Structure 1
Amino acid sequence: MRKEIWFGLSILLAIVVGLFVLMPAPADMTNGHLGLLMLALVVVAIMLGFPTAFTLMGMGMMFAWFAFHSSDPSQATQLTLDLMVQRAYSVMANDVLISIPLFIFMGYLVERANLIERLFKSLHIAMARVPGSLAVATIVTCAIFATATGIVGAVVTLMGLLALPAMLKAGYSTQLSAGCITAGGCLGILIPPSVLLIVYGATAGVSVVKLYAGALFPGIMLAGLYVAYVVIVAKLKPAWAPPLPAAERIVALPEYTQAIPGAYHKGAVPGLMRAIKGPLAANVPSRTLMSNLFVALLPALAFAAIMGVSYRMATAPEAAPTELVEMGAQQDVDASSSGDSGGLQEPPAEGSLAEPPSEGALAAPPVEGAATPPVVSAPSAPAGPEAMEAASRIPAQEPLAKPASNTFWIVLAVGAAAMLLFYIFFSFARLEIFKMLLGSLFPLAIMILAVLGSIVFGLATPTEAAAMGAFGGLILAIAYRRFNFNLLRESAHLATKTTAMVCWLFVGSSIFSAAFALLGGQEIINAWVLGMNLTPVQFMLLAQVIIFLLGWPLEWTEIIVIFMPIFVPLLAHFNIDPLFFGLLVAMNLQTAFLSPPVAMSAFYLKGVAPPHVTLNQIFMGMLPFMAIQVLGIVLLYAFPAIGLWLPSVLYK
């Protein structure tokens, strides 16, 4: 029997033994203990291979009937069936879940359009001089493709077919190659648009928009840590990641460059401009030269457009003060400023006592020649069309533009210097690499930025952005001439299957959580955790260790839908932000795909790897990347601004 099977059976046996040891005698068991028994039995049933969704539903219905039967035996069956219907309807009415099938459909369209092959080849050539270039290109490709699809199995499988043979042929270590593919494929769990974040947001009641904004920088940080590890390994152990031969670093130039002397080492922009003006390329059509010059100037044009928009935003005048006054406020002001004029006053009381006027009282003699100044009332404003016409002739004062800040000018100067340096070294070979990236990387990047930008900046809801992403996937498939009826049918069929699985998981989780709460299992866990008098740091460590250990026997879906409803109610007691907790969980749950015995990424890769690549080698290659994930969790916890800065800036 294989080692991973023994490992899984040992965990299963430990759960069963712990269940019998820790549970009280049947005579002393309460409903809360039945809830804990249900939780343990669900984990055991899932490890034995039973479908997760229907295991949750079955266990939830059975133990919910026990809970209702203990209080009202005559209504137990009816209440249990009502609970099932209500929980299923609540899941159906959750509009956040609509984005799941659309994002999944977008991912399958991008996968079927075969964009990953173009992307990997262009990144491989662009990073040819970086140590461990093949492994670095693999991680970057996995990160971009995982962001576009969010489907771990698809990314790992395709990169196993494409990158693993190339790395093994180049002499890369099997462990390093396997680790790069499996760890890079799991980045789709964390980097938005992630289905996991949608599921967590719907389960924990956290805004998916804020989760997407918060997960962006931690995902980039984790991918950067992977790349840094590969570069360090390639430097310290060149035998594990040998550099590419010089022949493979040379980029073939097109025919038109043959008419330009020394084109390979000459700057692309000056060379093209001289060829257009002079007789250097007389036999080359001017349309070819102009189109290549336009492509070469695209970075400068993009930089100018971005800085122009930034300048308009930075110098935009302040919003003019509005003249709208809250109802009732003007009357209060008038009443306070005009005294008793026009205001409601207490009427004089009839028959009340008052000081009688004194006859013959001394009074100041009148001053001769003095007259009482007449009371001049303020002229009333003219009414009618004449007044409106006169007011319209008064020129409105335009708000003055603000001067640009020093930060803008510093960014402009640094960016201009960087663009100048870029074009000094921008040769014809780099122009060809740029055109390859323009046809593979940039379309995906634009689609991803459009989807994420519309969500993060509040231009669209996640559902609307997912619909836009699905439409963008169709456009990409058509643009790359991969679109046909079979592609559309397969993508729709796979998206429907995956969506059905996720939605049934939600239904099962909702029924399970309700039964767990009815039995009082949540109260027992709350009392147990609070009775330990943990500090917030200790509770966070305990929760993350439990989630890390749960990643061994369970997948992330089971962990989210089963255990997050148990952890989330405890966060308020320890003053922990559910958003921050969700980011830590999302980073931690990547271990569910990398930790044995489940380690689905390892099995995805093993299914397409050459026969000589063993499962143990794949597991050994994943271990360093699991350690990097733990380091990423520590960095995120030590510096919460990595995940909370962007949501705090965008959603004050």
Structure 2
Amino acid sequence: MTDPQMALMMLGIFIALVFLGFPIAFTLMALGIGFGYYAYFDPGRMWRAFNRLGEDADGWTLVTTWLEGLFNNRIFDLFVNQTYTVMANEILTAVPLFLFMGYVVERANIVNRLFTTLNIASRNIPGSMGVAALVTCALFATATGIVGAVVTLMGLLALPAMLRARYDPSFASGIICAGGTLGILIPPSIMLIVYAAASGVSIVRLYAAALLPGLTLVGLYLVYIIARAILQPSVAPRPAKGELPEVPRRQLVVMLLTSFLPLAVLILAVLGSILFGLATPTEAAAIGALGGMVLAVIYRAMSFERLRESVYLTVRTTAMVCWLFVGSYTFSAVFSYLGGEQMIADFVGGLNLTPFQFLILAQLIIFLLGWPLEWSEIIIIFVPIFLPLLAIFDIDPLFFGVLVALNLQTSFLTPPMAMSAYYLKGIAPPQVKLTQIFAGSMPYVGMVFLCMALMYVFPQIVFSLPEYFYGTR
């Protein structure tokens, strides 16, 4: 069996083990070390070590020499070096800080006040409660970047309120599921940090590139909610008289200043300091973490128990991401050494695809991978397989990264493995069926594809801000 065939076997075994439920990070490390031992094995080293021994060597010396030859393999040096490379990666330093900011903000009791205020402020807009829920989801998701937390919290807060307001369960569920996933696209997104670390793309340019597509997607969602409420009023009835409290304009302004403004200022401070070059992403993440704690103190939601829980969740999630990187780096290094990467490049290059056809094929594969896998696993493990092919088709990795970030929205919304739907079903009232949640989410999948099409037709949606702030490369 040739080395490239061994590389394909390595990839096939990995996919099979993932579907069997094995831990992905440790599966990657085990396969990387196992196949790497084969790739780097040099039997001559062992025999040379034995030849240096004299005829009077005792049994213990023979055993230790055999063990030394057995473990004298470059794969172990590679594994240690890859682990050190991940832990010393300056880009990944921002991950725990942004995670900590998100977990602290999640526990600061901001969302309840924000949703109530936006619901009152938008009362005259068709589908006002849905609009308020989506804007709250977008802000909260952007501040936390944790899909499960946003969907769960908004499901506990906004879904019962919308059902009491006679909203269609499917329509209401779709708003929360779609809005909760926006945090992996809109900066400061942890997913974009991970993509930048995997691809070598500047995280600053990537944040600038993802901002307008993220806002475009939010705009499409809002247009859909309002249009559906106008064309089909039964799914989102206007609030009855007396259903919402009458709030004087001055009091409403105060409510907005105390609920919407603090969270918006925190997000803009973090993102603005990055885009305008005032701070590195890591420094901005530190500012955000401090700002999150200040907000929690202001809202009287800071306690030692909540702080300890936030630290624990941050460490756990960061460890998961870092071990995935260690396993992926080791796996991909061995896969490339065996010739698997070159074989894939030759195969794809021989298909005579146009850049558009390659983009469609790559995004279709990522879309299908989103059913069984988390976004972190797709970005860290599978996206690097596509990256060397981008130069062949003259595709900017920046553009490709934003397309992937958009595409991964669908992985949380598309049955049968739509995790947002399962998060919501876990806390939804019993009368809300999973099939209703799936049905409510599907229109938003279509809008994600529409946004991706707009990006391809009008690529300046992606490139305008990076070129404006940092010039062309």
Normalising TM by the smaller chain, what interval? Answer: over 0.9
Partner of 2:386: 567
The CA distance in 1 between the partners of 2:45 and 2:117, in whole Å, is: 68
Is residue 326 of structure 2 the alignment partner of residue 502 of structure 1?
A: no
Q: Which amino acid aligns with 1:564?
A: V
The CA distance in 2 between the partners of 1:577 and 1:104, in whole Å, is: 28
Tell me, what secondary structure is at the counterpart of 1:611? coil
How far residue 72 of structure 1 moved from its aligned partner, in angstroms, is 6.7
Q: 2:144 aligns with which of 141, 149, 156?
A: 149
Q: Which amino acid aligns with 1:84?
A: F
The CA distance in 2 between the partners of 1:616 and 1:50, in whole Å, is: 29
Deviations 1:74-115 (A, max 9, x none): 567421211110110110111111100000000011001111
Q: 2:10 aligns with which of 10, 32, 38?
A: 38
Is residue 351 of structure 2 the alignment partner of residue 532 of structure 1?
A: yes
- Counterparts of 1:507-522 in structure 2, within 5 Å, are 507-522=326-341
Q: Compared with structure 1, are the counterparts of its residues 649 and 610 closer, same or farther at alpha carbon in structure 2 (3 Å cutoff)?
A: same
Tell me, what secondary structure is at the counterpart of 1:573? coil
The CA distance in 2 between the partners of 1:540 and 1:70, in whole Å, is: 41
- Counterparts of 1:31-430 in structure 2, within 5 Å, are 31-69=3-41, 74=46, 77=71, 78-252=73-247, 429-430=248-249
Partner of 1:455: 274
Contact 1:47-1:554 at 8 Å conserved across structures = no
How far residue 508 of structure 1 moved from its aligned partner, in angstroms, is 1.0
Higher relative contact order by CA 8 Å / sep ≥ 6: 1 or 2? 1
Q: Which amino acid aligns with 1:67?
A: A
How far residue 251 of structure 1 moved from its aligned partner, in angstroms, is 1.7
Is residue 464 of structure 2 the alignment partner of residue 492 of structure 1?
A: no
Deviations 1:270-322 (A, max 9, x none): xxxxxxxxxxxxxxxxxxxxxxxxxxxxxxxxxxxxxxxxxxxxxxxxxxxxx
Q: Which amino acid aligns with 1:139?
A: L
Pick which of 187-196 and 591-600 moved more.
591-600
The CA distance in 2 between the partners of 1:71 and 1:539, in whole Å, is: 42
The CA distance in 1 between the partners of 2:279 and 2:161, in whole Å, is: 41
Partner of 2:449: 630
Q: Compared with structure 1, are the counterparts of its residues 71 and 156 closer, same or farther at alpha carbon in structure 2 (3 Å cutoff)?
A: farther
Higher helix content, 1 or 2:
2
Q: Compared with structure 1, are the counterparts of its residues 454 and 430 closer, same or farther at alpha carbon in structure 2 (3 Å cutoff)?
A: same
Tell me, what secondary structure is at the counterpart of 2:132? helix
Q: Compared with structure 1, are the counterparts of its residues 72 and 63 closer, same or farther at alpha carbon in structure 2 (3 Å cutoff)?
A: farther
How far residue 156 of structure 1 moved from its aligned partner, in angstroms, is 0.5
Pick which of 500-509 and 59-68 moved more.
59-68
Partner of 1:262: none
The CA distance in 2 between the partners of 1:437 and 1:609, in whole Å, is: 28
Tell me, what secondary structure is at the counterpart of 2:187? coil
Partner of 1:467: 286
Deviations 1:14-67 (A, max 9, x none): xxxxxxxxxxxxxxx422122222223222322222222112111221221222
Q: Compared with structure 1, are the counterparts of its residues 533 and 72 closer, same or farther at alpha carbon in structure 2 (3 Å cutoff)?
A: farther
Q: Which amino acid aligns with 1:134?
A: M
- Counterparts of 1:475-490 in structure 2, within 5 Å, are 475-490=294-309
Q: Which amino acid aligns with 1:192?
A: P
Q: Compared with structure 1, are the counterparts of its residues 637 and 239 closer, same or farther at alpha carbon in structure 2 (3 Å cutoff)?
A: same
Deviations 1:146-198 (A, max 9, x none): 11111111100100100111111111111111111111000001001111000
The CA distance in 2 between the partners of 1:71 and 1:629, in whole Å, is: 54
How far residue 431 of structure 1 moved from its aligned partner, in angstroms, is 2.0
How far residue 236 of structure 1 moved from its aligned partner, in angstroms, is 1.2
Q: Compared with structure 1, are the counterparts of its residues 587 and 250 closer, same or farther at alpha carbon in structure 2 (3 Å cutoff)?
A: same
Q: Which amino acid aligns with 1:603?
A: Y
The CA distance in 2 between the partners of 1:597 and 1:89, in whole Å, is: 38
Q: Which amino acid aligns with 1:169?
A: R
Contact 1:218-1:643 at 8 Å conserved across structures = yes
Contact 1:606-1:614 at 8 Å conserved across structures = yes
How far residue 73 of structure 1 moved from its aligned partner, in angstroms, is 7.9
Tell me, what secondary structure is at the counterpart of 1:38? helix
RMSD of the alignment, in Å?
Answer: 1.5
The CA distance in 2 between the partners of 1:45 and 1:601, in whole Å, is: 25
How far residue 557 of structure 1 moved from its aligned partner, in angstroms, is 1.1
How far residue 476 of structure 1 moved from its aligned partner, in angstroms, is 0.3
Partner of 1:309: none
Q: 1:433 aligns with which of 252, 263, 267?
A: 252
Partner of 1:639: 458
Q: Compared with structure 1, are the counterparts of its residues 517 and 638 closer, same or farther at alpha carbon in structure 2 (3 Å cutoff)?
A: same
Tell me, what secondary structure is at the counterpart of 2:166? coil
The CA distance in 1 between the partners of 2:122 and 2:338, in whole Å, is: 58
Deviations 1:590-641 (A, max 9, x none): 1121223332211111111112222222112111111111111111111111
Question: What is the aligned residue count?
Answer: 448
Partner of 1:546: 365
Pick which of 438-447 and 167-176 moved more.
167-176
Tell me, what secondary structure is at the counterpart of 1:586? helix
Partner of 1:351: none
How far residue 237 of structure 1 moved from its aligned partner, in angstroms, is 1.0
Q: Which amino acid aligns with 1:97?
A: L
How far residue 574 of structure 1 moved from its aligned partner, in angstroms, is 1.3
Q: Which runs of 4+ in 1 moved over 6 A?
A: 70-73
Contact 1:553-1:597 at 8 Å conserved across structures = no
Pick which of 632-641 and 68-77 moved more.
68-77
Contiguous gaps of at least 5 residues in structure 1 = 1-28, 253-428
Give the TM-score, by structure 2 length: 0.92
Tell me, what secondary structure is at the counterpart of 2:392? coil
Q: 2:376 aligns with which of 542, 548, 557?
A: 557
- Of all paired residues, the percent bearing the same amino acid is 58
The CA distance in 1 between the partners of 2:90 and 2:193, in whole Å, is: 11
Pick which of 534-543 and 189-198 moved more.
534-543
Deviations 1:449-504 (A, max 9, x none): 00000000100000000000000001101111111211211111111111111111
Q: Which amino acid aligns with 1:590?
A: Q
The CA distance in 2 between the partners of 1:72 and 1:628, in whole Å, is: 60
The CA distance in 2 between the partners of 1:651 and 1:76, in whole Å, is: 52
Q: Which amino acid aligns with 1:103?
A: F
How far residue 539 of structure 1 moved from its aligned partner, in angstroms, is 1.2
Is residue 407 of structure 2 the alignment partner of residue 605 of structure 1?
A: no
Q: Which amino acid aligns with 2:129?
A: L
Q: Which amino acid aligns with 1:506?
A: F
The structure that has the greater radius of gyration is 1
Tell me, what secondary structure is at the counterpart of 2:229? helix
